[in-house]
């Protein structure tokens, strides 16, 4: 599967401008023969806590992405915001098929509490899977990367895990290390799609990349806007047969161990 990585510079809360850039890049990716293109988290508004404001663009964004997916015959992954009754939002990432149909819609399970995201956005409750070009694919978002349990669970089904993000420059080294670690420990491909530039007072360094099941970096972007291409082979099972650590995963045991620890803490 040929993937286009759309490492964009997101103009904060200016979806019309961002969508114009996206349209050009989607057309280019299609012309280059990409099967799918993936954009960063909150792709066309930036990492905004103005939930009602950015959620108002959800339908125009969806319509534009569905039209472009069908027109260019390319799968598209993009981030957006919904607003629930009462004013709290959900941080979504949707994957569309080549006909513009919705294949998956994931809601971020771990809002970035250090940045106050949980005050404005509710947590998602489930891991979502789909299939692209015979690849089982899951999406997790940005801060989710710091929680290996999620990746362990997703990797039971998926062979490619996409991690769109607005990952801050001061923790860029964490970004690179954690993407590789999640790939190695779960023997899956992990695709990190970050943004670049500034949003308000925040700076983003990009460094979007693809790590293979052995942690090798198949593609690494720099710190500027870039439309990069990488091909993913459907060979995850070969890695797992050659070095079968995933065979030894004991998920029920880990779950029971964690529950016991929680119970002990509650009784202290």
Query: Residues near 182 by Cβ (< 8 Å), separated by ≥ 6?
Result: 145, 148, 151, 161, 163, 188, 190, 211
pLDDT tens-digit series, residues 58-113: 999 999 999 999 999 999 999 999 998 877 999 999 999 999 999 999 999 999 99
Between CA 94 and CA 77 the distance in angstroms is: 6
* The pLDDT of residue 257: 79
What are the tens digits of pLDDT across the range 196-239? 999 999 999 999 999 999 999 999 999 999 999 999 999 999 99
Average pLDDT over residues 152-176: 97
Work out the pLDDT band at 250, boundaries 50, 70, 90: confident
Q: How far is CA 183 from the centre of its chain?
A: 14
How many Cβ atoms from other residues are within 10 Å of residue 236's Cβ? 22
CA dist 154 and 238 (Å) reads 19
Supply the mean pLDDT for the chain: 95
Say whether pLDDT at 120 is over 80.
yes
Q: Is the pLDDT of residue 262 over 80?
A: no
CA 50 to chain centroid? 21
Q: Tell me the whole-structure pTM to 2 decimals.
A: 0.95
Give the DSSP per-residue string, 57-106.
THHHHHHHHHHHHHHHT-EEEEEEEEE-TTS-EEEEEEEE-TTS-EEEEE
pLDDT at 157 over 90: yes
Confidence class for position 37, pLDDT limits 50, 70, 90: very high
Alpha-carbon gap, residue 186 to 45, rounded angstroms: 32
Domains and CATH numbers, the chain: 2-236 (3.60.110.10)
């Amino acid at each position: 599967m040929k993937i286009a990585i759309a490492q964009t510079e997101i103009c904060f809360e200016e979806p019309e401008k961002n969508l114009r850039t996206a349209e050009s890049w989607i057309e280019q990716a299609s012309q280059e023969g990409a099967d799918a293109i993936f954009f960063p988290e909150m792709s066309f508004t930036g990492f905004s806590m103005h939930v009602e404001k950015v959620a108002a663009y959800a339908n125009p964004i969806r319509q534009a992405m569905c039209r472009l997916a069908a027109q260019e015959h390319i799968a598209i992954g993009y981030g957006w915001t919904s607003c629930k009754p009462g004013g709290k939002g959900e941080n979504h990432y949707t994957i569309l098929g080549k006909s513009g149909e919705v294949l998956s819609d994931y809601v971020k399970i771990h809002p970035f509490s250090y940045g106050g995201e949980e005050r404005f956005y509710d947590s998602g409750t489930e891991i979502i899977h789909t299939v692209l070009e015979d690849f089982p694919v899951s999406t997790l978002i940005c801060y989710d990367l710091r929680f290996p349990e999620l990746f362990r669970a997703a990797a039971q089904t998926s062979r490619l895990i996409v991690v769109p993000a607005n990952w801050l420059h001061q923790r860029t080294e964490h970004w690179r290390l954690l993407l590789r670690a999640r790939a190695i420990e779960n023997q899956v491909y992990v695709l990190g799609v970050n943004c670049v530039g500034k949003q308000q007072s925040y700076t983003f360094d990009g460094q979007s990349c693809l790590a293979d099941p052995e942690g090798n970096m198949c593609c690494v972007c720099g710190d500027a806007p870039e439309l990069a291409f990488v091909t993913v082979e459907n060979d995850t099972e070969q890695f797992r047969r050659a070095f079968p650590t995933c065979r030894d995963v004991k998920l029920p045991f880990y779950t029971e161990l964690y529950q016991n620890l929680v119970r002990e803490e509650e009784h202290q």
